[in-house]
Amino acid sequence: MNKIILEKLIYKNYLKTALTSILFIEIVLIIIYFVANQNIVNTSINFILDDIKKSIYTNVDNITSLTEHRFEDIENLGRILQNEHQNFFKYNFKIKNPKNLVFKYAKNGMYYKLNDNGGSSVVVSKNTKITEEVESRLINSELFDDTFKSIVNNDEIIISAYFNSYDNTVRYYPFIKDIYNTFPSDIKMEDYDFYTKANLKNNPKKEVLWTDIYLDPAGQGWMLSVITPIYNNNFLEGVTGIDLTVDSIIDNFLNFKLPYNGSSFLIDKNGKIIAMSKEIENILNIKNNVKSKYPKNQKIEKTIYNNKEKSLLEYPNENFVNKLKNIVKDLDYSHEVIINDKKHLLFSEKIEKTSWYLISLIDENQVLSKVRNFEDYNKKLGYIIILLIVMFYIGFFLYLYLKAKSFVVTINTPILKIIEMTKSLGSNKNYEKLESCGIVELDTLSDNFNNLANELEERTNKLIESETRRISNEKLANTDALTNVFNRRYLEDFFASYIKILKREKKEFALLIVDIDDFKKINDSFGHDVGDFILKRLVNIIKDIIRENDIVVRLGGDEFVILLPNSNIQNARIIGSKIIDIINTTNKLEKEFKFSISIGVSEYLKSDFNIETILKRADKSLYKAKDSGKNCIK
């Protein structure tokens, strides 16, 4: 290739090409600007729509996650009530010297609690004979009220908690004055689905369940409940429930703000409306019957579902309905839908606990209004810019003709400086090798960049190798070699930092100490290989049960600590019980190498300033478990 220095190249081609190129540039710039302006508008529209989709999905996903967590919390409350009430019947708890309890017969024959002593209201069907046993249970079940009060008063979406017994007794919190006027005088629990759904036939696993939306017999309007059966051995003593009204769901889960005045609604898997904001009612031009109230003077003698509400799958808009069908079938769908001649963006997320779908709509005109204004502004600006470009190039041509020599010096000086600079600088990895272009100065610059790229690659490889060794050494220092969980050194380092978070943000924290029962005998009888096998098996069982952010630490020997951030001691006991149950189930299937564990529990207190104080309390609980016969949690 014949090479030429830049100075000669400029002088050689200037007079021949300057006039033609300037005229050509002006015409091309005019065309490019208008094409580019339209491309910018189209790109801006696509960018904004993509950004809106990401933003909406983030908002919808956040509220869905929040809803899932809230429903999970309410389910856990149901499990707590189930455990408490079953223990009440199992151990026959009694209140000593009950005070402020007055029961009497109403005019309609129902037996009820007359006075509000800060707890629940109580009423018994007129067909139930008030025996000494019934009277005793009405008094002793006042023990339920503290938990009822705590659940209802500390959660804004829970409006009531109740216990309905097999002999048609209702214990309902908060207190309802003259409760005998609320229910039918001959109330039968088996007439209500929320009671029969919990029995052994419909709920053989005796699990916590969610009801469909129904009309509350206690006059709170449309609601859904978490219900849990209460068994004494295999006898169904009754059903305990926690109520959420549809209005509370709207207030807490649908009134979140979306960009561009978006709004949301909830539907079930059949397309029926669970809850709907006022804005959605206006968009779809329908009325949400779920929000209507039942006349308070009419007693509800059986479960009444919201059959008035038509499925949105029957909505007279095929495009909208097809998208809803894809949503409830968990299929892909496009995000654009036209409703009443207006284009909307549609987003959805599924609430797994209840198989509901949270759907949000945003008017596309509101999203793109600023882009359209921007498009008009750019057109006006374009005409001005074109005029300035023409004027600029006329003056520039005259200036360039007079300053040609100065221009050569101007362009050569920085290029030569860059060449000198690149000789002493490092290079960057993944540089493509620069090709020779035929200009001496630029070819020299290319060669220097190629050299720098090679140097950068060598330095980067050395840095990666050094950093890999450092990370590997740090991990080995904090990890137990046998079980591959964290060791005590990590525990102390972790908690020294984490306790500052606990103090500052007032978070909950609990831990479990897990100790294998008679581990020395296992090692003596079967050898240390079997002992190591059991240690690894225990760790695998623990990891399968705890959450992803929970931490397992080996203190030493056969003793482990499970750290549970954002958990209290009650949740820790539940996790510990699950671990013991899994091990006991495994032992039944395992013919050899059986083992059991004992667990001690403790939680962080405001007075704690290090991990040792929490461990000591857990250790005391562990000793109690050992003294209680092992294979248990204390």
Which residues have a catalytic role annotated?
Answer: 558
List, as one string, the DSSP characters of 185-233: TT--GGGSHHHHTTSTTT-TT---EEPPPEE-TTS--EEEEEEEEEEET
> Which of the 8 DSSP states describes residue 234?
T
**Cβ(580)–Cβ(546) under 8 Å?**
no
As a whole number of angstroms, the distance between CA 589 and CA 253 comes to 45
As a whole number of angstroms, the distance between CA 35 and CA 29 comes to 10
Q: How many Cβ atoms from other residues are within 10 Å of residue 381's Cβ?
A: 12
List, as one string, the DSSP characters of 536-595: HHHHHHHHHHS-TT-EEEEEETTEEEEEEET--HHHHHHHHHHHHHHHHHHHHH-SSS--
Give the SS3 label for residue 343.
Answer: strand
Dihedral angle sign, alpha carbons of residues 560, 566, 571, 575: negative
Amino acid at 1: M
Strand partners, 293: none
* Phi/psi at 453 (5° precision): -60, -40
As a whole number of angstroms, the distance between CA 348 and CA 196 comes to 33
**Cβ(171)–Cβ(163) under 8 Å?**
yes
* Phi/psi at 92 (5° precision): 55, 55
Smallest CA-to-CA distance from 513 within 445, 446, 584, 569 is with: 569
Task: Quote the tokens at residue 559.
Answer: 């003793």
- Long-range contact list for 184-187, CB < 8 A, 24+ apart? 184/299, 184/300, 184/301, 185/106, 185/108, 185/109, 185/110, 185/125, 185/126, 186/125, 186/126, 186/127, 187/123, 187/125, 187/217, 187/301
Q: At what angle do helices 440-478 and 488-505 cross, to 10 degrees?
A: 100
Q: Which residue has the tokens 């007032």?
A: 506
Cis bond upstream, residue 316 (ω within 30): no
DSSP H or E stretch at residue 263: strand 263-267
Which residues, 6 or more positions from 37, have their beta carbon under 8 angstroms from its beta carbon? 375, 378, 379, 382
**Cβ(310)–Cβ(284) under 8 Å?**
no
As a whole number of angstroms, the distance between CA 443 and CA 342 comes to 59
As a whole number of angstroms, the distance between CA 618 and CA 561 comes to 10
Dihedral angle sign, alpha carbons of residues 204, 208, 210, 211: positive
**Cβ(84)–Cβ(140) under 8 Å?**
no
